[in-house]
Amino acid sequence: MELRKNYFADVRKDDLHEIGQPRPRSDSPGHVTGKTAYFADRNFPGMLHLKMVRSPHHHARIRSIDTSEAEKHPGVVKVLTAKDVPHNVYTILILIQVGPEDETVLADGKVRWKGEAVVAVLAETERAAQEAAAKVKVDYEVLPAVFDMEEALKPGAPLVNEYHGQNYYLYDSGECRKVRFGDVEAGFAEADHVLEQSYQSSPIEHAPTETTGCVVVPEGNDRFTCYTNTQAMFFTLDNTSIILQMPGSKLHFVGGTVGGGFGGKVDVIVEPIAILGAKLTGRPVCFIYSREEEMQISSPRAAEKVIIKDGVMKDGRIIARKVTGYTDAGAYSRHSPYGAQKGAGHYPGPYTIPNVWIDTYCVYTNRTPSSAMRGFGVTIGDFALEVQMDKLARLIGMDPLEFRFINAYRDGDMKAHRQPTEGAALIECMQEASRVANWPVAEKYMAMSSYKNGA
């Protein structure tokens, strides 16, 4: 690997001992010998299998639940419904005061997405649990559902989540996160060209090779050991403590080995109910998503819609940018209010624009709840922004890379959300990209620097 020395030479010591050097991964010897212990590699005598009865409807009221036939099924040890969960309504980010609690561990009176957990069945074998789950009778009254974010925001749309009271997350800034910088309308009036485009994405499933799950063992000292592949150990421990109304000192979480996560294992979704099952039966419990559940039930990346309106001058300067972003949380918040907020902070991208207006909405629909995935809140936004940049360059007949040099943020530039730019290396990254990709740009751009006094 080549470490070029011409960038930022004044602040570089070049005494790097690790960067640029191959070093063995500490976990690889376990991986190649099959000795790495994933949560499902723990097997305990008398372990019960947990299977979930799930909603077949996108939106429905639950009139009644009859578990009597399931309870009689051979091998069934326990059947759990909402009334068994000590604190059934929760939300993950309550730990950092981002409420309200808006999601049920087991559905209580209503389901808001197709696949929502309604009844948990614990049995001696996976097969018995599956068969018994099929015998649970739930009487539903199907309600109108909404799947499109802009439809959900219209007056008269079905109300997805009563804990919010409207189909968007109410920030302290109001119905959306807002950034206001300069005068965007004056910018559009002054611009040589104005281009408004909209960009949309579908939900994306992480599809880890190891599905979500946990194995719980009740210990002799009244504690519970939970082997889990969560990516969010302490979020999970603390939320489990709240849901089960159990001191955290009773919960011993063992994790750190994850068979692929990509953000898909940050929800608190299998551990609380499996620990409750272990508590109420006194037996070890495993709750492991099937591949179908991993694909259909686990949170995907949110669907997003991004509308970008730009005012650009013939010389290449973007002088106004207005962005409206919609993040589809699905039926529950999970991490999406944070994702939508990140979007607001991330626009208008790594460019210095004097007039900016940003609104980002976190919207509730009757779709599968979305959550974290690799750069959620900004990845789709970056796709939209960079496609928009290419379109703008084409509009004014400019090379797309040179167009980005003109607009790139540099140290000292004020960003739209009032943070001065520091340590920007975008100019240098693009210079190196230009060189490596053999995409030449004019010499004046190769002479630029992120230090504004440099060039």
Partner 1 sequence: MTKVPVQFTLNGSEKAEFIDSGTTLLNALRDKIGDTSPKGGCHQGTCGACSVIIDGELRLSCLTLAETCNGATITTTSGLAEGGVLHPLQRAFLDTFATQCGFCTPGMIMAAKVLLDHTPNPSREDVVEALSGNICRCTGYEPIIQAVLSAARANSQNAA
Q: Which residues are near partner 1 by CB under 8 A?
A: 22, 24-25, 27-38, 40-41, 43, 206-211, 258-262, 290-291
CB nearer to partner 1: give 211 or 341: 211
CB nearer to partner 1: give 125 or 200: 125
Provide the Cα torsion 387, 388, 391, 397; round to 10°: -120
| Least spacing, CB of residue 286 vs partner 1, in Å | 11
- In angstroms, rounded to a whole number, what is the distance separating the alpha carbons of residues 109 and 209? 34
CB nearer to partner 1: give 129 or 441: 129
> What distances in angstroms separate CA 300 from CA 40, 291, 292, one per listed residue?
22, 14, 13
| Least spacing, CB of residue 43 vs partner 1, in Å | 6
CB nearer to partner 1: give 97 or 209: 209
Buried b (16+ CB within 10 A) or exposed e, 256-273: ebbbebbbbbbbbbbbbb
Bridge partner list, 176: none
- In angstroms, rounded to a whole number, what is the distance separating the alpha carbons of residues 199 and 219? 52
Neighbours of 409 (CB within 10 A): 20
- In angstroms, rounded to a whole number, what is the distance separating the alpha carbons of residues 300 and 398? 37
Longest dimension (CA), the chain: 80
| Least spacing, CB of residue 39 vs partner 1, in Å | 11
Amino acid type, 12? R
| Least spacing, CB of residue 77 vs partner 1, in Å | 17
| Least spacing, CB of residue 41 vs partner 1, in Å | 4
- In angstroms, rounded to a whole number, what is the distance separating the alpha carbons of residues 114 and 277? 24
Q: At 267, list the tokens.
A: 């929800």
Phi-psi region for residue 83, left (φ > 0), alpha (ψ -120 to 50) or beta? alpha
Bridge partner list, 364: 330
- In angstroms, rounded to a whole number, what is the distance separating the alpha carbons of residues 302 and 369? 8
| Least spacing, CB of residue 301 vs partner 1, in Å | 14
- In angstroms, rounded to a whole number, what is the distance separating the alpha carbons of residues 441 and 434? 7
- In angstroms, rounded to a whole number, what is the distance separating the alpha carbons of residues 455 and 408? 13
| Least spacing, CB of residue 17 vs partner 1, in Å | 19
CB nearer to partner 1: give 122 or 242: 122
CB nearer to partner 1: give 288 or 320: 288
CB nearer to partner 1: give 40 or 406: 40
> Looking at residue 75, what DSSP letter applies?
T
| Least spacing, CB of residue 448 vs partner 1, in Å | 33
3-class state of residue 95 by DSSP: helix
CB nearer to partner 1: give 31 or 63: 31
Residue 56, Cβ density class (10 Å: 0-12 exposed, 13-18 middle, ≥19 buried): middle
The helix (H) or strand (E) run that includes residue 227 is strand 224-228
| Least spacing, CB of residue 208 vs partner 1, in Å | 6
CB nearer to partner 1: give 28 or 68: 28
